[in-house]
C-alpha cells in the first residue's frame, strides 16, 4: 500500500498538469519542463499504481477511469496547499486576502454588483477578484468560489441555492399595448421571440420548456438569440419582440414601467443560481464569510423582488 512518506509528489504534479490540459505539450509548458521528463513521471506513477491513467486517442489524450478518479483529488490537494501557503505568505507580508469569485454576467449586472460592493465595505481586508463568463455550471477558470447558473445536480462541490429562477414573457409597454386583447398563444405567435443561448442546448430550449408548461403550441425556432439575458431584455425594452426572463431579476425594470409582463404566466424553469465551492474550503475564513454574506443578502433580495 502507498504510504504518505513515499508519495511521488513530482509524478503527481506531472500527472495533474497533463490531466488538466489533456496534453503533454500543455502540461510541459505549464510546469516549464520537457515533455520527455513529464512523460517519464506519468509513466512512473502508472507503474506504481499498476494501471494506465491516460489513454492516447487519435484526437488527443483522454483520462482512463483510474485517471478520472485520481485527477480531481490531486488537483484539489495542490489547489488547497497553494491557497494555504499563499495565505501564510500574505499574512507574513501583511498582504490582503484575495478572494477569486466567478459570477455570470447578467446576475452580476442585475443582482450581485451592489451586494459585492457592500461586502467590500464591510470587509475591506478581503480583496474580491471578480470574473464572469457565459454558460451553465462551473466556470473554466480557477476560482475560490463561483455563482453558477444551473439545474440542481449532485457533484463534488457544495452548492447553496441563492436564487430560484421564475420566468415569464416580458416586453416593452408599446408591444403589449399593440397586442391588447389577444390571448397568450396568439400574442406569442405574432411576436419575435428573443432567445438566450444555453450551452449544450438548442436555440429555443427555454421557450420550448415554457410552451410545454403552459400548454401553448409555439414555433420556438424563430427569432433572435443573445449571449446573455440582460442584453436580450435591453433589446426587448427597445420595442423589439418578447423575451422569456426572470420576473424577480428584472423587477426594477417592471416597477419603473420600462418592461411589462402582459400575462399571468410565471413558471419555474428548473434553473437557479447556486453558490459553489469545494467542501474542503469550508475551513477557509474568507470563503465561509462570503458564503454567509451572500446567503443572507440574497435571501432578503429574493423575498423583496418576489
Question: Would the pLDDT of 84 be above 80?
Answer: no
Same domain, 149 and 287: yes
We report the CATH number of the domain holding residue 32 as: 1.10.10.10
Residues 77 and 34 in one domain: yes
Quick one: 104 and 135 in the same domain? yes
pLDDT at 176 over 50: yes
Burial bucket for residue 277 (CB in 10 Å: 0-12, 13-18, 19+): buried
Given this model, what pLDDT does residue 303 score? Answer: 37
Considering 90, 117, 132, which residue would you say is the last residue of a domain? 90
Strand 267-277 relative to strand 193-196, pairing:
unpaired
Highest mean pLDDT among 70-79, 152-161, 175-184, 274-283: 175-184
Domain that holds residue 23: 4-90
- The x, y and z cell numbers of residue 16, run together, are 495533474
Q: What is the DSSP string of the chain?
A: ---GGG--HHHHHHHHHHHHHT-HHHHHHHHTS-HHHHHHHHHHHHHHHTS-SEEEETTEEEE-HHHHHHHHHHHHHHHHHHHHHHHHHHHHHTPPEEEEEE--HHHIIIIIHHHHHHHHHH-TTEEEEEE---SSSS-SS--SEEEEEE-----SSEEEEEEEEEEEEEB-HHHHHHTTT--HHHHHHTSPEEEE--TTS-TTHHHHHHHHHHT----TT-SEEES-HHHHHHHHHTT--EEEEETTTTHHHHHTTSSB--S---EEEEEEEEEEE-GGGGG-HHHHHHHHHHHHHHHHHHHHH-
Q: pLDDT tens-digit profile of 125-162? A: 888 999 887 666 666 567 889 999 988 877 778 889 99
Cα(53)–Cα(66) distance, rounded to whole angstroms? 6
Length of the chain (residues): 306
Mean pLDDT of the chain: 87
Distance CA 207, CA 194 (A): 9
Q: How many domains does the chain have?
A: 3
Q: Which residue has the higher pLDDT, 249 or 270?
A: 249
In this prediction, residue 282 has a pLDDT band, given cuts at 50, 70 and 90, of confident
Task: Identify the CATH number of the domain in which residue 102 sits.
Answer: 3.40.190.10
Beta-bridged to residue 195, according to DSSP, are 225
Q: Which of 57, 156, 148 is nearest to 106 (CA)?
A: 148
State whether 144 and 276 are in the same domain: yes
Residue 268's pLDDT is 92
Task: Tell whether 104 and 83 lie within a shared domain.
Answer: no
Bridge partners (DSSP) of residue 100 are 129
> Considering the chain, what percentage of its residues have pLDDT values greater than 90?
58
Residue 101 pLDDT more than 80? yes
pLDDT at 138: 65
Position 117 pLDDT exceeds 50:
yes
- Please indicate, yes or no, whether residues 157 and 276 belong to a single structural domain of this protein: yes
Amino acid at each position: 500500500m502507498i504510504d504518505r512518506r513515499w508519495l511521488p509528489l513530482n509524478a503527481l504534479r506531472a500527472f495533474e498538469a497533463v490531466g488538466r490540459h489533456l496534453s503533454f505539450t500543455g502540461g510541459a509548458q505549464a510546469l516549464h519542463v520537457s515533455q520527455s521528463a513529464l512523460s517519464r513521471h506519468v509513466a512512473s506513477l502508472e507503474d506504481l499504481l499498476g494501471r494506465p491513467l491516460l489513454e492516447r486517442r487519435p484526437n488527443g489524450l483522454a483520462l482512463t477511469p483510474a485517471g478520472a478518479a485520481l485527477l480531481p483529488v490531486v488537483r484539489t490537494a495542490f489547489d488547497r496547499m497553494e491557497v494555504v501557503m499563499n495565505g501564510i505568505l500574505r499574512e507574513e507580508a501583511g498582504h490582503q486576502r484575495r478572494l477569486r469569485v466567478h459570477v455570470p454576467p447578467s446576475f452580476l449586472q442585475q443582482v450581485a454588483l451592489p451586494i459585492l460592493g457592500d461586502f467590500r465595505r464591510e470587509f475591506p481586508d478581503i480583496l474580491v477578484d471578480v470574473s464572469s463568463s457565459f454558460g451553465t455550471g462551473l466556470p473554466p477558470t480557477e476560482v475560490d468560489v463561483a455563482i453558477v447558473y444551473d439545474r440542481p445536480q449532485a457533484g463534488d462541490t457544495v452548492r447553496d441555492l441563492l436564487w430560484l429562477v421564475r420566468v415569464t414573457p416580458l416586453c416593452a409597454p408599446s408591444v403589449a399595448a399593440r397586442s391588447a386583447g389577444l390571448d397568450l398563444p396568439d400574442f406569442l405567435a405574432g411576436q419575435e421571440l428573443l432567445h438566450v443561448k444555453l450551452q449544450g442546448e438548442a436555440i429555443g430550449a427555454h421557450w420550448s420548456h415554457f410552451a410545454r408548461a403552459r400548454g401553448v403550441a409555439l414555433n420556438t425556432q424563430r427569432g433572435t438569440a443573445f449571449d446573455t439575458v440582460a442584453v436580450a431584455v435591453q433589446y426587448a425594452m427597445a420595442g423589439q419582440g418578447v423575451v422569456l426572463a426572470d420576473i424577480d431579476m428584472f423587477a426594477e425594470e417592471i416597477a419603473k414601467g420600462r418592461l411589462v409582463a402582459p400575462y399571468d404566466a410565471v413558471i419555474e424553469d428548473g434553473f437557479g443560481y447556486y453558490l459553489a465551492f469545494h467542501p474542503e474550503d469550508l475551513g477557509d475564513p474568507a470563503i465561509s464569510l462570503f458564503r454567509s454574506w451572500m446567503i443572507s443578502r440574497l435571501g432578503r433580495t429574493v423575498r423583496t423582488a418576489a
